[in-house]
Amino acid sequence: MLEKTVLIVGGGPAGASCAWKLQNAGMDVLVLDKAAFPRRKLCAGWITPQVFQLLGTSPQDYPHGLLRFRRLICYFRGLRVPVKTRQYSIRRYEFDRWLLERAGAPVEQHAVKHIRRENQHYIVDERYRARYLVGAGGTHCPVYRQLFGRVCPRPGDRRISTVEEEFCWDYKDGNCYLWFFDEGLPGYAWYVPKAGGYVNIGIGGKDAAIKKQGRTIRQYWRHFTGRLQSAGLLPAREFAAQGHVYYTRGRKPLLSRENAFIAGDAAGLATADMGEGIGPAIQSGFRAAEAILHQSPCTMPAAAKYSWPSIVLSGLGDLRRNEAEAPWTV
């Protein structure tokens, strides 16, 4: 049986960030993930300036495709509202691999099935043994299901159903569009261009509210893509969209039990207003690592529950006033 001090289940942004901090502190860490990296990961790929600050780096140092937006074109119940800001888009295929390689921790491809506790340690599938266990495997993370699910079930009113697709297209409109509570959808939709000629489009809504309307998220998707095609934002094509679910953050999320921790979507930490998941995932991964290193409580700051304050503030003043304009700016 392989023994480590910390076992991290999931190598996405939450797990990679946790591994990076622990590895830098000299801890004996192993990351387990059911898939090999790089891997396809559907995501709007929304990155805030605060993400780069958390990672201790800058947009100029990011080695892959990055697109910067000086404004967001938002529609609130049909009302067009341009919002000055500084935001970025990435492809998760590149971003996740970069974060995991940056962490420098060993990684094994393994789908976790069974977890048990024995003498202050966790035994995973009778193959791995660790004093600390971090669950960062997304909404369906086995650490959450087996160690946290019964103690802290996720409320159904925070469950978000989404449908999205990312594809290569020589788009002409490089603006980022966001729609909120449009056409009766109890949620939001997005059109996010990315570097290298990629576009991510999708919709997300409160699952319970959609069902109450007697509709499905797929019905909204078909209507949404038809509108984008009519507006010239999408090509005429057959879509192969995929659906998934996640949970937005509650008031006091439970992030730890004994020596087990959960982070990112495993803990249901997407922002309540925008459904932003990457920033909270990275921050919660760091928080789990700090709790392990300092034997301290694992909590998330209240400000991390919402995205809009940072979006607006980033547009009021350039966070890097001396930053050179890059060719990928739109």
For β-strands 107-109 and 29-33, DSSP reports them as parallel
- Contact by Cβ (8 Å): 263, 255: yes
3-state secondary structure 58-79: CHHHCCCCCEEEEEEEEEECCE
Predicted local distance difference test score (pLDDT) of residue 146: 97
Predicted local distance difference test score (pLDDT) of residue 328: 33
Which amino acid is located at 221 in the chain?
A: W
- Taking residue 251's Cβ as centre, other Cβ atoms within 10 Å add up to 7
Residue 135 has pLDDT above 60, yes or no: yes
For β-strands 260-262 and 187-194, DSSP reports them as unpaired
Average pLDDT over every residue of 262-286: 94
Q: What 3-state class would DSSP assign to 273?
A: coil
Residue 318 has pLDDT above 70, yes or no: no
Average pLDDT over every residue of 173-177: 94
Residue 270: DSSP 8-state: B
Length of the chain: 330
Predicted local distance difference test score (pLDDT) of residue 266: 97
Predicted local distance difference test score (pLDDT) of residue 294: 96
Predicted local distance difference test score (pLDDT) of residue 307: 86
Residue 320 has pLDDT above 60, yes or no: no
Residue 326 has pLDDT above 80, yes or no: no
Helix, strand, coil content of the chain in percent (nearest 5):
30, 30, 40
Query: Could you identify the residue written with the tokens 């780069």?
Result: 52
Which residues, 6 or more positions from 283, have their beta carbon under 8 angstroms from its beta carbon? 17, 54, 300, 301, 304
Q: Which domains does the chain have, with CATH numbers?
A: 2-69+87-155+246-306 (3.50.50.60)
Q: Considering the chain, what percentage of its residues have pLDDT values greater than 70?
A: 96
Predicted local distance difference test score (pLDDT) of residue 317: 57
Orientation of helix 92-103 relative to helix 13-24, angle to 10°: 20
Average pLDDT over every residue of 288-311: 89
**Angle 235-207-34 (CA atoms, 0-180°, nearest 5)?**
75
Average pLDDT over every residue of 242-257: 92
The mean pLDDT of the chain is: 91
Which residues, 6 or more positions from 232, have their beta carbon under 8 angstroms from its beta carbon? 172, 173
Predicted local distance difference test score (pLDDT) of residue 78: 87
Nearest C-alpha neighbor of 3 from the set 20, 25, 22, 28? 28
In the numeric block, which tokens belong to residue 35?
Answer: 């898939």
Q: Considering the chain, what percentage of its residues have pLDDT values greater than 90?
A: 80
Q: 44-77 pLDDT, tens per residue?
A: 998 989 999 999 999 999 999 999 999 999 999 8
Average pLDDT over every residue of 311-328: 54
Residue 13 has pLDDT above 50, yes or no: yes
